[in-house]
Amino acid sequence: MKVDVVTIQGEKTGRQADLPQEAFGVEPNEHAVYLAVKQYLANQRQGTHKAKERGEVAGSTRKLHRQKGTGGSRKGDIKNPIFRGGGRVFGPRPRTYSLRLNKKVKRLARASALSAKAQAGEILVIEDFSFDAPRTKAYMDMLRSLELEAKKSILVTPETERELFLSSRNIPNAHVLRAGDLSVYDILNADTLVFAESALDKVKETFVNGFVSTE
C-alpha cells in the first residue's frame, strides 16, 4: 500500500511511502484486537483496593448480650457487619488484574489495528523532522497544517524524541510515541496516526518480523 509523504506544512513532497503489507494489509481479526485491548486495560489497574473485614476492624470481641431470652436477634460482638463501623462482608482484597497473551496473538492484534486504520484512511506519513528545543507553538502549527488540531493524533517516531514529546505534552489529544511502544489501544484510540517516514522501518522491524499469518 502506497501513501503520499507530506511535509509538516501539509504539502506533498512528490514521494510515496510503502506501508508494509504484513502490518497494514492483513484481514483484521476482531477477537485478537479485543484480547489485546482487554489486556492493556486490565494491566492499567493497580489492584490496591482493600476493605477491613470483621477480624481487622477495631472493637471488642465481647458478646453484646446473651444468646436467648432478650427478644432480640443474635448479634455476636460489636464488629458484626450489620452494625455501623463493623467489618465488611466479602470486601475487596488486593489482587493483580494483569493478563498474558501469546506473542503471535499480540502481533496479529497490532497488525489488525494498523490495517483497520489504513483501510479507513486514517494514516499520514510525514517526512522526518525534529525540533532543536521544545516548541509547543511549532507543534500546534504542524497540527493545524495537517488539519489535526481538533482530532486525537499520535505522532509515531523511530526513536524517543524528547523535544517532540515535550512540545506535545501540553496539547490535548496530541501524543508522541516511539514505534516500539505503540499498543493496540493507542492505535484504536487515535483518530489519526502520523508516522515519521523512518518510523515505518521500525514498524516493520518491530511488528512484522516474526509475524505469523492465520491463513
Q: How far apart are CA 122 and CA 153, in angstroms?
A: 10
Report in angstroms the alpha-carbon separations of 99 from 28, 40, 41, 44, 212.
22, 8, 10, 11, 22
CATH number at residue 175: 3.40.1370.10
Overall residue count recorded for the chain in this entry: 215
pLDDT digits 0-9 by tens, 184-206: 999 999 999 999 998 998 888 87
Tell whether 213 is covered by a domain. Answer: no
**Gyration radius of the chain's alpha carbons:** 27
E strands, the chain, are 2-6, 12-18, 123-126, 153-157, 174-178, 192-196
The grid coordinates of residue 141 equal 502549527
pLDDT attached to residue 207? 62
pLDDT digits 0-9 by tens, 37-90: 999 999 999 999 999 999 999 999 999 999 999 998 888 999 999 999 999 999
Task: Please indicate, yes or no, whether residues 90 and 120 belong to a single structural domain of this protein.
Answer: no
Tell whether 117 is covered by a domain. Answer: yes
Tell whether 214 is covered by a domain. Answer: no
pLDDT attached to residue 49? 96
14 falls in which pLDDT band (50, 70, 90)? Answer: confident
Q: What is the number of domains present in the chain?
A: 2
Task: Please indicate, yes or no, whether residues 198 and 126 belong to a single structural domain of this protein.
Answer: yes
Task: Please indicate, yes or no, whether residues 102 and 69 belong to a single structural domain of this protein.
Answer: no
- Residue that finishes a domain, picked among 96, 112, 130: 96
2 falls in which pLDDT band (50, 70, 90)? Answer: confident
pLDDT digits 0-9 by tens, 97-128: 999 999 999 999 999 999 999 999 999 999 98
Q: pTM above 0.85?
A: no
Tell whether 25 is covered by a domain. Answer: yes
Pairing of strands 153-157, 192-196: parallel
Task: Please indicate, yes or no, whether residues 121 and 171 belong to a single structural domain of this protein.
Answer: yes
pLDDT digits 0-9 by tens, 133-181: 999 999 999 999 999 999 999 999 999 889 999 999 999 999 999 998 9
Which residue range(s) make up the domain with 9?
2-45+98-208
Task: Please indicate, yes or no, whether residues 103 and 140 belong to a single structural domain of this protein.
Answer: yes
Q: How far apart are CA 194 and CA 155, in angstroms?
A: 5
Task: Please indicate, yes or no, whether residues 32 and 56 belong to a single structural domain of this protein.
Answer: no
